[in-house]
């Protein structure tokens, strides 16, 4: 495969942006797309909110195709990758007063590399167990999710 730099126009947050793309178009796994809302695109990662109102739960997906494991991020992208995990943690903590944060890259079911950052509380539906596979998700209402996404974007501002 030959990769050439491509300039593309991307509509995001109410305006068009010129974006340099060194690879093919980024493709989000259909399961992640179905289970989440778009919060933002940060320099490296797409930021998603899991549609489960029981847990304030962000998912970071590096916008590069073909990544699977946590250590496959290119050396040059690692500082950004980890800074964005921290940024998601800070946003969740600021917005939800999380008692604990869970950070995890599992990917047993969805092979595309993605990092869960979940705000946890001693009174939440899964505590102290991990959140995966616990009961059924309770989707957000449109009002709820719109407000939460705005609040998380604000809390995540650098």
What residue ranges bind its own copies (CB under 8 A)?
68-71, 78-79, 82, 85-86, 89-90, 100-109, 120, 127-130, 132-133
Q: Which C-beta is closer to its own copies: that of 94 or that of 145?
A: 94
**Half-sphere exposure for 45 (CA within 13 Å, toward CB):** 28
Q: Which is nearer to its own copies, 33 or 105 (CB)?
A: 105
Between 26 and 70, CB nearer to its own copies: 70
**Contacts of 40-44 spanning 24+ positions with Cβ under 8 A:** 40/13, 40/153, 40/156, 41/12, 42/84, 42/87, 43/80, 43/84, 44/77, 44/80, 44/81, 44/84
| Least distance to its own copies, CB of residue 57, Å | 13
* CB 81, min distance to its own copies, A: 8
Q: Which two tokens stand for residue 60?
A: 């970071």
CB of 126 to its own copies, least distance (A): 9
């Amino acid at each position: 495969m030959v990769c050439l730099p491509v300039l593309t126009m991307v509509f995001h947050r109410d305006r068009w942006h010129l974006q340099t793309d060194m690879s093919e178009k980024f493709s989000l796994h259909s399961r992640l797309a179905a289970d989440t809302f778009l919060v933002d695109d940060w320099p490296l990662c797409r930021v998603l909110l899991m549609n489960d109102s029981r847990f304030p739960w962000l998912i970071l997906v590096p916008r590069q195709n073909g990544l699977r494991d946590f250590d496959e991020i290119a050396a040059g992208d690692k500082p950004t990758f980890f800074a964005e995990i921290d940024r998601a943690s800070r946003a969740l903590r600021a917005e939800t007063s999380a008692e604990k944060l869970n950070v995890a890259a599992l990917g047993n079911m969805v092979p595309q590399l993605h990092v869960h950052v979940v705000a946890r509380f001693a009174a939440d539906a899964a505590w102290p167990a991990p959140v995966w596979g616990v009961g059924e998700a309770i989707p957000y209402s449109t009002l709820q999710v719109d407000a939460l996404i705005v609040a998380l974007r604000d809390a995540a501002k650098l």
